[in-house]
Amino acid sequence: MSTEELKADREGVSEPEQVPALPQDRSLLILDDDKPFLGRLTRAMEARGFLVTPCETVAEGLAALESNPPAFAIIDMRLDDGNGLDVISKLKTSRPDARGIILTGYGNIATAVTAVKLGAFDYLAKPADADEIYHALMATQVDKPDAQENPMSADRVRWEHIQRVFESCDRNVSETARRLNMHRRTLQRILAKRAPR
């Protein structure tokens, strides 16, 4: 096989995408309003050598970023006082080399894309255990996902479309409802539910 053929053959194979090097220090912000989960994850990450700052609200998380931006962050997306995406965005502004993971029970493509655009290193759906989270934080390469064997259900496609419009409206419920020609309360009920399978 010639050099050109080898090169062409390699180009057809998608290799894992290389990612920036790990930050040197092990400071970690964990932001989650589920107290038992926050406590368990804090202990699990401390056992893995991290210096953890646990927070329960967006306000606490933003204050922690002001005083000492961490090298790593695990941030729940939906919190009682706001959205974890605001904290991810602030983290990337305060410390560009930081690795932030978004956790959510409301997983969907639109929010995953938004999270990555705002600086999230990875995006995990709850329930995620400490091992999964640790491996996502410490990953040295991002594997390209395989093509799905089973396509999304019609309910899931609808859900994804609503989430895309919601994100394009900067998470404004009234504007999203207007664009989708949907009653505001109906939209709020849909947004409060978990994503259909």
Q: Give per-residue pLDDT as tens, 30-40.
A: 999 889 999 99
Contact 28, 73 (CB under 8 A): yes
In this prediction, residue 77 has a pLDDT band, given cuts at 50, 70 and 90, of: confident
Same domain, 45 and 78: yes
Quick check: is 146 in a domain?
A: no
Same domain, 89 and 183: no
Same domain, 129 and 158: no
Question: Encoding tokens for residue 15?
Answer: 């290799």
CATH number (domain holding residue 183): 1.10.10.60
Contact 58, 30 (CB under 8 A): no
Domain range for 188: 154-192
Same domain, 134 and 186: no
For residue 88, pLDDT over 70 is answered with yes
Number of domains in the chain: 2
Same domain, 119 and 158: no
Record the pTM: 0.61
Would you state the pLDDT for residue 152? 64
Same domain, 95 and 69: yes
Would you state the pLDDT for residue 73? 92
Same domain, 161 and 134: no
State the DSSP code for 120: E
Quick check: is 67 in a domain?
A: yes
Same domain, 26 and 116: yes
CATH number (domain holding residue 74): 3.40.50.2300
The angle formed by the CA atoms of residues 68, 112 and 124, to the nearest 5 degrees, is 70
Report how far residue 188's alpha carbon sits from residue 186's, in angstroms, rounded to the nearest whole number.
5
Quick check: is 12 in a domain?
A: no
